[in-house]
């Protein structure tokens, strides 16, 4: 009945009602979008998606409102880990935003696509973001996008390519004096070097990244690098040192309230507990990592947590539970296209049961 009544309205009257709804909702939330800076969070963000739709249907005179509220809605969806909404909204924003904002909108859409469907699906959008930055002559954003190209290559196991992208990004960040992202790119380079087996070079990159993160106040960056250094310590058999690092990273992530970061650090510490033979503690930690990952929409870490949980359950003699966890973990890693993590999990599982792989999924 509502739709029928709506469709009977003349177009002009329909547009006027949308304009009335837009301004009325703004009043209810205590601020018009034009009175709130784009980077400032506000209660109106909860209905920004609805306001963007009203603005679009209100007509050409409300184009500025549509642009403004689409941006706020996209930012809100990203911060809430609603990746499907974030992808839709960043894609829409890329169609209506000023040319200077096109690299950002495409880049954010690519990141949302990566979290939803993996690296293969994200790469074409990330390529468009890179081309838009270059066409705009936006060296700063070109460097930012190149850093994430490095991440996509690393997920696919193309470690040399990943390190090359990191070095290109670093050169640009230094050229434009972007210290914040210089630290991020150095950390990404360290991760690529570590995965490629060059632990010493990775430690050097991490140390430089950590220094920059301290300098610019990037606490999440500090937590992530501290976790990555702990990973190197664990692989080197420095278990006490590794646990100290993990605990420091966890404290930083907890202080930030960063669920995605907590998932990542908890998962890595779970591996340490598993290596130490503390199976019950490891099982609980893997389960906790999975809860954090699901809460933050991080399917990659959720998959890794399920696979790690499967290995710990198998070692504890709980094979039926292990099979169920393994199936969920493998599917999640396949869905996001993380072949590197999947291969590593399979090799670790084979070592759990010497003489052969126990699951049909292999």
The residues, any chain, with a CB within 8 Å of residue 292's CB and separated by 6 or more, are 259, 260, 262, 263, 266, 298, 301
**238 and 331 share a domain?**
no
Q: Higher pLDDT residue, 233 or 347?
A: 233
* Residue 188 CB partners (closer than 8 Å, separation 6+): 147, 150, 151, 154, 162, 166, 169
Q: What is the mean pLDDT of residues 352-362?
A: 58
Distance CA 234, CA 71 (A): 42
Q: Are residues 160 and 218 in the same domain?
A: yes
Does residue 88 lie in a domain region?
no
Please report the pLDDT score of residue 222 as a whole number. Answer: 97
pLDDT band at 35 (very low <50, low <70, confident <90, very high): low
- Cα–Cα distance between 65 and 124 in angstroms, integer? 29
**What are residue 237's phi and psi, to 5 degrees?**
85, 10
Same domain, 147 and 208: yes
pLDDT category at 357 given cuts 50, 70, 90 is: low
232: domain CATH number is: 1.25.40.10
- Same structural domain, 304 and 347: yes
Q: Is residue 266's pLDDT more than 70?
A: yes
Alpha-carbon distances of 311 from 146, 198, 231, 322, 340, rounded to whole Å: 35, 27, 19, 7, 17
Does residue 37 lie within any of the structural domains?
A: no
Q: Please state, in angstroms and as integers, the Cα–Cα distance from residue 287 to each residue in 70, 315, 327, 331, following that order.
A: 36, 16, 15, 17
| pLDDT in the model for residue 310 | 94
C-alpha span between 256 and 273 (Å, rounded): 24
pLDDT on residue 65: 93
When pLDDT is averaged across residues 305-319 and rounded to a whole number, the result is 93
Q: Domain for residue 222, yes or no?
A: yes
Position 117 scores a pLDDT of 85
pLDDT at 348: 83
Same domain, 168 and 224: yes
In a domain? residue 19: no
User: Does a structural domain hold residue 215?
Assistant: yes
For 97-122, the pLDDT digits (tens) are: 999 999 999 999 999 998 888 888 99
Q: Whole domain around residue 197: which residue ranges? A: 138-252
129 is a domain residue: no
- 308 lies in the same domain as 225: no
Domain co-membership, 243 together with 289: no
Specify the pLDDT at position 301.
92
- Count of domains observed in the chain: 2
Q: Are residues 158 and 245 in the same domain?
A: yes
Token reading at 43 = 């209660």
Examine the fold and report which residue of 235, 252, 269 is the final residue of a domain before the chain moves on. Answer: 252
Is 76 contained in some domain? no
**244 shares a domain with 143:** yes
- Measured CA distances, 55 to 1, 43, 59, 99, 102 (Å): 23, 18, 7, 20, 20
223/305 same-domain check: no
pLDDT tens for 159-204 read: 889 999 999 999 999 999 999 999 999 999 999 899 888 999 999 9
Residues 58-93 pLDDT 10s:
998 999 999 999 999 999 999 888 889 999 999 999
Q: 304 and 229, same structural domain?
A: no
Q: How confident is the model at residue 136 (pLDDT cuts 50, 70, 90)?
A: very high
> Cα-Cα-Cα-Cα dihedral of 22, 26, 27, 33, to 10°?
-130
Confidence of residue 358 (pLDDT cuts 50, 70, 90): low
Helix or strand holding residue 95 (H, E): helix 83-96
Is there a domain that residue 50 lies in? no
């Amino acid at each position: 009945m509502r739709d029928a009544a709506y469709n009977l309205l003349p177009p002009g009257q329909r547009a006027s009602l949308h304009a009335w709804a837009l301004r009325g909702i703004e009043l209810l939330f205590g601020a018009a979008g034009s009175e709130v800076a784009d980077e400032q969070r506000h209660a109106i963000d909860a209905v920004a998606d609805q306001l963007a739709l009203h603005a679009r249907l209100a007509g050409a005179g409300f184009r500025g409102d549509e642009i403004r509220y689409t941006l706020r809605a996209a930012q809100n969806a990203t911060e809430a880990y609603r990746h499907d909404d974030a992808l839709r909204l960043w894609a829409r924003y890329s169609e209506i935003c000023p040319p200077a904002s096109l690299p950002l909108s495409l880049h954010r859409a690519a990141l949302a696509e990566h979290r939803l469907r993996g690296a293969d699906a994200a790469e074409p959008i990330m390529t468009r973001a890179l081309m838009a930055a270059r066409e705009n002559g936006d060296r700063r954003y070109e460097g930012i996008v190149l850093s994430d190209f490095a991440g996509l290559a690393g997920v696919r196991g193309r470690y040399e390519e990943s390190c090359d992208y990191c070095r290109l990004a670093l050169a640009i960040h230094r050229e434009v004096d972007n210290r914040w992202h210089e630290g991020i790119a150095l950390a990404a380079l360290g991760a690529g070097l570590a995965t490629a087996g060059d632990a010493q070079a990775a430690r050097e990159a991490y140390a430089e990244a950590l220094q920059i993160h301290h300098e610019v106040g990037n606490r999440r960056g500090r937590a992530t690098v501290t976790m990555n250094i702990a990973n190197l310590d664990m692989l080197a058999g420095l278990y006490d040192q590794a646990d100290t690092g993990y605990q420091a990273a966890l404290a930083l992530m907890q202080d930030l309230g960063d669920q995605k970061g907590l998932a990542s650090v908890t998962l890595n510490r779970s591996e340490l507990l598993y290596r130490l033979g503390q199976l019950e503690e490891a099982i609980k930690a893997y389960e906790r990592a999975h809860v954090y990952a699901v809460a933050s929409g991080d399917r990659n870490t959720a998959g890794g947590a399920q696979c790690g949980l499967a290995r710990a359950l198998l070692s504890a003699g709980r094979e039926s539970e292990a099979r169920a966890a393994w199936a969920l973990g493998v599917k999640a890693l396949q869905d996001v296209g993380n072949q590197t993590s999947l291969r590593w999990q399979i090799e670790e599982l084979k070592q759990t049961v010497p003489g052969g792989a126990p699951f049909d999924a292999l």
